[in-house]
Chain A
Amino acid sequence: MAEAKHNRINLSEKDYEGAASTMCRGCGHDAISASIMRAYFDSSIDPHKVIKMSGIGCSSKTPAYFLSQSFGFNAVHGRMSAVATGANLANHTLLPLGVSGDGDTSAIGLGNFCHMMRRNVNITYIVANNGVYGLTKGQFSATADVGSVMKGGKVNDIPAIDLAELAITLGATYVSRSFSGDRKQLAPLIQGALSHKGSAILDVISPCVTFNNHEGSTKSLKYVKGHLDPIHDIDFIPTFEDIKADYDEGTDHEVTLHDGSHIVLHKLGKDYDPTNKAQAIMAIHAAIAEGKFLTGLIYYNPNRVDFATELDLCDTPLSDLTQDDLQPTAEQLEQINANFMK
């Protein structure tokens, strides 16, 4: 038997697997899980350092299907952003991975999602976006496009929330969009997010093969494949590899991430600078006007510190502090009493 491939921390691909998936056969979410496993393996991240966070919905079930050695928390509907924020504060040395759906994020959880990004909480947040509620059998979500048709024939006439645009506007510092079926693009985007310290949002179009894969749906497998609009080809270059090997001075754009690794963006059409906020939002709108999904690393802001840093939290996780760290002295209490006697 051939020796299993091991990564730099000597773990095999098997070490990044989880329980057997219970998604429908052909579900885009399973493809996302595969890219997640690929990204963590390739980036040689210790699963014990990862916390898997999710809310409620099909996508929120998936953290059970990868990285079984990591702690996981499948919380309540729409609250993953808040729960992950708290977990991050309790132990900022852990790497939170959030997996959510478009209902969980853009409808019931929109408020918490927005404020998590405003705070720039350190998290890799993947939205498996299929425009539909799967577990409750096929209702429109808030990311359903105008004109998209429900399985029963109902047409959506309320504008969609564009999660990437929202993320850019509200302060997320790494914003990308991809397609579940495009592992070549998605895996390096996840790796980039893992190397970024701050809110990294990945809006991943992930067709629902059961409830939203019919003619008239704008999130069916066929429709999405035919309307992808990648900005660039993406390579993730980890800290331990030489960037020059895969870099063309003339047309490539390089992004240095917080941990010293790089993303190389190979130009496909126009020049695109992902650190330009206004341009990023314009590009999203231009693609929407053409009925296309803009994919790639749409926006990146390396200059903003994450929430735990902003709060000036001590290096030791708050969860590891002892009574000696946490409890002021009896003498200090005497002083308080004395002040209150006046």
Chain B
Amino acid sequence: MDTPAINDLNICVATENGSGSASSNNILFKAIFKMGIPCSSKNMFPSNIQGLPTWYQIRASAEGYLSRKDVIDVMVMFNDATAAKDIYRVRDGGLILFDDSTPLPANLKRDGVQYIGFPANNLVTKLVPASPLRSKQRNMVYVGALAYLFGIDMEVIKAVLEDTFGKKPAVIESNLICIDSGFQYLKEKGASQTITRLQEIPNGNKGKIITEGNTAAAIGAIYGGASVICWYPITPSSSIAESMEYYLSRLRKPKNGKKTYAIVQAEDEIASVGMIVGAGWAGARSMTTTSGPGLSLMNESIGLAYYTEIPCVFFIVQRGGPSTGLPTRTQQADISLMYGASHGDTRHIILFPHDMSSTFDFARRSFDVADRFQTPVFVAIDLDLGMNLWSSEPFKLEKELFDFGKRLSAEQLEEWSKAGKKFRRYFDQDGDGIPYRTVPGNQHRLASYFTRGSGHDADAKYSEDENDYKYILDRLRKKHDTARKFVPKPIVEKEKGVKTGIICYGSSYEPVREARDRLKAAGLKTNHLLIRALPLAAEVRDFLAEHDTIYLVEQNRDGQMAAIIKDENPELGAKIVSVLVYNGLPVTAGAVVKQVFDAARTAKTA
């Protein structure tokens, strides 16, 4: 018999959505986390309320890899509709768990895997009084079965239930009964398996948090001072606004008993963007949340904010496009749309967090960047970051003062006026492309100006003059260039002498980290650059120059980031080889490794 591995396991739970499995999977994931084992979860769910197939993968990794694993060790086969395919998703030598309340149909038998059955349906029918809850409780039985098979202590499960349902002892009790029934059933049966054992690592996850990117973004935005939040429901971004509503009411102290924020569910994305542009113009820290289709609708007013130089923040949680596409699957396919949003010459600032703590941090800082540059700022997340639970370093609050940028108060205007300095709304006073602004409510006689999306001169007067028009366009370009030095710099990991580089951004970071280890083990050492913002910092060009071949990993079909980098670095662009993963599922290290090797082989034979 093989010796079981330790803490190396990838479980896939196949169920129907709306069947209550989310709760069971959560408990399982948190139990493994509580044991101190590095672990991650990936929820692959349908755009539907009830009855369509959904898969939830939980990975425990002794080596600490948190990306989706491409090899499934264990399949919990709880969805008849997908079972015939699910049995082949398991690796050879893997394990299939199934409900043997009814006999396993012949077509669901295959060679090379171990089957373990337990009568989840029968157990639940016996233990739970007839109720709508009963079918949901069935999913708790597999939690117990898995706990027994892989060595999760029931005390740990109990502790997770208490963390989760603290104030509802009856719920804890009824779940525990079902979980325990699965555990005891396999124990009495003497079931065994040889794949892996989960072993507690004392303090293994000490100091780590479990959260999802949308929650991290919501809390970050609150710490960044968001006060006008206008949004329209769209998967996978809605939970940012909903989390904000929850946390704002708990975190923000009232002012004279009243609220310091407005959250408005708008009638559409065209309205939500209009509202945040109006709010940003009037001086509030304003933001919206949306995904691809909403971003498409917002384009016109994004151009308005860009041209009239109004700060506002867009949290974009990317999903599969074009059109409705795959609303519940992940993608990084809105990079071009964000970078050049709206008609005419535009270039926008985009921040790319890659984990939970940077999502919090960039969400907070985005408001400073928007105020500093008086322009729309995008925080680009994707569904994998936004809606999956990640174990992560905790959120950290940097002690920084809010940067409201070049916003003149009535007092400052008076000083300017006394010094003979003139306030000119769209004039490049400091040579950095960033003008000064005042906001409505400023009572100074020289404060007001007329904002317009039509042609204007440096003094905000209507103008169709060719020189006035070009002046503003060129200054906006200059402002964008100033931002290169201001936005978060890339993170570079490099060793001397290594001539192969990998570039990625956002949720690709974790699979690329794992892929680089695998490539190294296979003899290919790589350096790495993580892009954290657009416009591109100078470090990107240096990295291109220093390497012979650069693999650029991104989650879209057309290599959208590659196009931007090539456009700005035409003489170095030929070195870039795109590694594109765009099937809608979270990137795996295996996919990256395969494409890198394929490309390297093609290059050699060419």
With a cutoff of 8 Å between Cβ atoms, the chain A residues found around residue B205 in the complex are 341
Measured between beta carbons, the chain B residues less than 8 angstroms from A147 are none
A325-B260 contact given A76-B453, A87-B282, A340-B210, CB 8 Å threshold: yes
Bound Cα distance A72, B448 (Å):
8
Looking at the assembled complex, report how far the CB atom of B277 sits from the nearest CB atom of chain A, in whole angstroms.
6
1/0 contact trace for B434-466 toward A, CB 8 Å? 000001111101011111111000000010000
Chain A residues in 8 Å Cβ range of B603: none
**Contact A86-B230, Cβ < 8 Å, known A79-B270, A340-B209:** yes
Closest to B222 in A: A328
Report yes or no: A79 in contact with B283, Cβ–Cβ below 8 A: no
1/0 per residue, CB under 8 A from B, across A307-342: the answer is: 010011111111111110111101011001100111
Contact count band on A: 35 or more
**Separation in Å of the A284 CB from the closest CB of chain B?**
25
Distance between Cα atoms of A326 and B274 in the complex (Å): 23
B262 CB-CB contact with A under 8 Å? yes
8 A Cβ contacts from B399-434 to A:
401-402
Total chain B interface residues with beta-carbon distance under 8 A: 73
Q: Which residues of A contact B272 (CB under 8 A)?
A: 82
- Is A323's CB under 8 angstroms from B301's CB? no
Contact A64 B462 (CB under 8 A): yes
Q: Which of A111, A308, A311, A333 lies in contact with B271, CB distance below 8 A?
A: A111
Asked if A251 lies at the interface with its beta carbon under 8 angstroms from chain B, I say: no
With contacts A83-B281, A87-B279, A314-B260 taken as known, whether A76 is within 8 angstroms of B441 at the C-beta atoms is: no
Contact of A318 among B262, B304, B448 (CB under 8 A): B262
Q: In the complex, what residues of B have CB within 8 A of residue A323's CB?
A: 225, 401-402
Tell me, yes or no, whether A209 is within 8 Å of chain B by CB.
no
A76 pairs with B301, CB closer than 8 A:
yes
Given contacts A72-B450, A337-B394, contact A86 B258 (CB under 8 A): no
Say yes or no: B225 contacts A326, CB within 8 Å.
yes
Contact A337–B283 (Cβ < 8 Å): no
Contact call B208/A341, Cβ cutoff below 8 A: yes
Q: Which of B248-256, B513-521, B534-542 contacts A (4 or more CB under 8 A)?
A: B248-256
Q: Find chain A residues with CB under 8 A from B285 CB.
A: 326
Which residue of B has the minimal Cβ distance to A319? B283
Digitize A43-84: 1 where CB-to-B-CB distance is under 8 Å, 0 elsewhere: 000001001110000000001100011111111100101111
Which of A63, A88, A327 is the most central at the interface, judged by chain B CB atoms within 10 Å of its CB? A327
- Give the residues in chain B near A79, CB-CB below 8 Å: 270-271, 274, 300-301
A328 CB, nearest partner CB in chain B, Å:
4
Flag if A51 contacts B450 (CB, 8 Å).
no
Q: How far is the CA of A79 from the CA of B268 in the complex (A)?
A: 12
Give chain B residues whose Cβ lies under 8 Å from the Cβ of A53: 278
Using Cβ atoms and an 8 Å threshold, which residues of chain B touch A321? 225, 227, 255, 260
Measured CA separation A318–B394 after assembly (Å)? 29
Q: Which residue of A lies closest to B462 (CB)?
A: A64
A115 touches B266 (CB 8 A): yes
The stretch among A89-97, A221-229, A266-274 that forms the contact with chain B is A89-97
Query: A75-B453, A89-B264, A111-B267 are contacts. A69–B278 as well, Cβ < 8 Å?
Result: no
Given contacts A112-B267, A311-B262, contact A336 B282 (CB under 8 A): no
A59 to B448, CA, bound (A): 21
Q: How many A-B residue pairs have CB under 8 A?
A: 223
- Chain B residues with Cβ below 8 Å from A68 are 448
Q: In the complex the two chains form, what is the Cα distance from A312 to B279 in whole Å?
A: 17
In the bound complex, CA of A114 to CA of B228 (Å):
21
Q: Determine if A51 and B259 form an interchain contact, defined as CB atoms under 8 angstroms apart.
A: no
Chain B residue at minimum C-beta to C-beta distance from A342 = B163
Q: Is A85 an interface residue (CB 8 A)?
A: yes
- Contact of A86 with B228 in the complex, beta carbons under 8 Å: yes
> Which residues of B sit under 8 angstroms from A319, Cβ to Cβ?
227, 279, 282-284, 439-441
**Distance in Å from the Cβ of A17 to the closest Cβ of chain B?**
14
Partner among A86, A327, A337 whose Cβ is within 8 Å of the Cβ of B209: A337
Q: Which residues of B contact A119 (CB under 8 A)?
A: 264
* A85-B283 CB under 8 A given contacts A326-B225, A326-B252, A337-B395: no
Report B-chain residues with C-beta under 8 Å of the C-beta of A48.
442-443, 447-448
- Check: B219 CB closer than 8 A to any chain A CB: yes
A326 in contact with B227 (CB, 8 Å) = yes
Q: Is B582 an interface residue (CB 8 A)?
A: no
Smallest CB gap from B356: residue in A: A340
Cβ-based interface call for B211 (8 A): yes
Alpha-carbon distance between A332 and B205 when the two chains are bound, in angstroms: 21
Known: A89-B262, A90-B228. Contact between A112 and B271, CB under 8 A?
A: yes
Check: B286 CB closer than 8 A to any chain A CB: yes
Task: Please report the C-alpha to C-alpha distance between residue A313 and residue B285 in the assembled complex, in whole angstroms.
Answer: 15
Given the complex of chains A and B, what is the CA–CA distance between A75 and B228 in angstroms? Answer: 19
Q: Quick one: given A82-B271, A321-B260, A340-B210, are A72 and B451 in contact (CB under 8 Å)? A: yes
The interface centre, meaning the residue of B270, B395, B401, B454 with most chain A CB atoms within 10 A of its CB, is: B270
CB-based contact A89/B284 at 8 Å: yes
Contacting B445 at CB < 8 Å: which of A69, A312, A327?
Answer: A69
Assuming the contacts A74-B452, A76-B304, A337-B395, asked whether A328 and B274 have C-beta atoms less than 8 A apart, the reply is no
Chain A residues, Cβ within 8 Å of B98: none
- A328's partner among B251, B258, B451 (CB-CB below 8 A) is B251
Q: Does B118 sit within 8 A of A, measured CB to CB? A: no
Could you tell me the distance between the alpha carbons of A64 and B207 in the complex, rounded to whole angstroms?
58
Q: Is B223 in the interface zone, CB < 8 Å from A?
A: yes
> A241 CA to B279 CA in the complex, in Å?
36
Which residue, A94, A315, A322, A337, has most C-beta atoms of chain B within 10 A? A337
Partner of B282, one of A64, A81, A86, A316: A86
Interface hits, B330-357 → A, CB 8 Å = none
Complex CA distance for A322 and B224, rounded to whole angstroms: 11
A111: nearest residue on chain B (CB-CB)? B267
Q: How far is the CA of A272 from the CA of B355 in the complex (A)?
A: 64
Beyond known contacts A333-B223, A341-B207: 9 more, CB 8 A cutoff: A71-B449, A72-B448, A74-B453, A83-B278, A86-B286, A91-B439, A311-B262, A314-B258, A333-B397
Interface pairs (28), CB distance under 8 Å: A53-B278, A64-B450, A68-B448, A71-B439, A71-B450, A72-B451, A74-B453, A79-B270, A79-B300, A85-B274, A86-B281, A87-B440, A93-B441, A112-B274, A311-B259, A316-B255, A318-B260, A318-B261, A318-B262, A318-B284, A319-B227, A319-B441, A326-B227, A326-B252, A328-B253, A336-B247, A337-B395, A341-B208
Mark A residues whose CB is within 8 Å of B.
Answer: 48, 51-53, 63-64, 68-76, 79, 81-91, 93-94, 111-112, 114-115, 119, 308, 311-323, 325-328, 330, 332-333, 336-337, 340-342
